[in-house]
Amino acid sequence: MISLRDRPLIHLRWSMVMHWILAITNSCNLLKYVTRFSCDIFGFYVAFIYLQKGIQVLTRQWRAGDTSAYLSISIALLVLMVAFLCAVIGESSLFHRHFRKFIEDYGTPLTVIFFTGFVHIGKMRDVELLKLPTSRAFFPTTDRGWFVHFWDIDVGDVFLAIPFALLLTILFWFDHNVSSLIAQGTEFPLRKPAGFHWDIFLLGITTGVAGLLGIPFPNGLIPQAPFHTTSLCVTRTVADPESKGNSRRVVDHVVEQRVSNLAQGLLTLGTMTGPLLIVLHLIPQAVLAGLFFIMGIQALQANGITLKLVFLAKDKALTARSDPLITIPRRLSIWVFVALELIGFGATFAITQTIAAIGFPVFIFLYIPLRTLVMPLWFKREELLGLDQPTASPFTMESVGGNYGEEVEDVRVPGADEDSDAERGEAGSGWEEKEERNVGVRSGRGSRRGSADEIEVEGGRTR
């Protein structure tokens, strides 16, 4: 008879088969109906989950006493402020661009390292702080072997796991695909094709392996994050035609590679070694709470719901004429659109707080036909075009039949046949021009080393 702690892992093997079925039947073609409307709700939800987890970590600090709890709150807020300042510096014009890029990319991990040692300074060294819990090297956290004894499972338990496997498969299909869409958004000029169907097939394999080893589900945290894509963007500074004498930063291209993903996996494996487990055990839980806070704040900053709420709160007289929302004649339509998004977020977040938390994507799923079939009945077409848009570019969505309502076109860059270094992406973005391709080629030498350098262009000349 399988033990009680291993019983929940049976459904992972069923889920593996369901993932394979979804991949073989091209279920990812349904992604053509997913727009920013649903993705913004999901991103908003994930951001608040980060903030909630940070608060939950801090509430546990009272176990070590009042002094420890209040010191932990201070440390978490300091981590948030310093990491946020690093992001601000990265987007500013301060310091040299190499230093600015270094701070933007590595400021957050360096903040974690600094505040891990910060607690040992002065009188703080005498305060007991809760640290990250660890176990023995390359050993499960519970007292059991590496493999789940699936050969001892009763037949009744096998079939009882099917409904739970179905819920988990729905969760993974939605979480993985929508996260992948967000990480391949229209703001990123990607030139390598997407592999939605292969991703689901591979996710099924890793889910099955997790069921055999009894390890955490492989998609418990979003592996495809826009933070990662943003860090791989090569930007350049150009003159702003709408503001004479000023400049703005645009994305030239994205360093598309597998090195950083592989490195993340190897580093995760490396944290199971004895020396690194000792190091991890030195990190206060308060630092982890601050890390959750900064991830949540940064996710909220770029979210479409936040941007619409900020627009609605602005003084009309001081709103920039270039804001696309200002072209929408009915302001009521913006309020209704945002209200629908907030209702979707609230229902999803509420489900997460119940025993049925695994079914949280169901409500967002229902919003997809709502956006496609119901909302066009009240919203005008030009309003929906201003309020909503496809998540990914036609090039990215080519493998799943293109975006809903758009014709599938050949989105290859003109002249790509003549120039093997020509980049591919959304047609009409402007970055595919000859000179800009040359800029991308010149910066590619640094990009191949894994660094995303900035290219500054002044007066039409590259520096």
Q: What local confidence, expressed as pLDDT, does residue 77 receive? A: 95
Model pLDDT, residue 224? 61
pLDDT for position 10 = 67
Tokens representing 171 are 């969760």
pLDDT at res. 411:
46
What is the C-alpha separation between 266 and 133, in angstroms, rounded? 21
Per-residue confidence (pLDDT) for residue 406, from 0 to 100: 64
The answer to whether 16 and 172 have CB atoms below 8 angstroms apart is: no
Whether the Cβ atoms of residue 347 and residue 363 lie closer than 8 Å to each other: yes
pLDDT at residue number 245: 62
For residue 343, give the H/E element and its range: helix 331-352
Give the number of other Cβ atoms within 10 Å of residue 319's Cβ. 12
pLDDT at 244: 66
In the prediction, which pLDDT does 204 show?
A: 87
For the chain of 463 residues, list the mean pLDDT of each consecutive stretch of 10: 48 84 89 87 90 93 89 94 91 84 88 90 86 83 70 73 82 83 82 86 86 71 68 78 70 83 83 87 92 91 90 84 82 92 91 79 84 89 86 81 62 41 36 37 35 39 37
pLDDT given for residue 463 in this prediction? 37
Q: What is the DSSP letter of 236?
A: E
Burial label, 83 (beta-carbon count in 10 A; 0-12, 13-18, 19+): buried
Give burial (CB, 10 Å; 0-12/13-18/19+) of 133. Answer: exposed
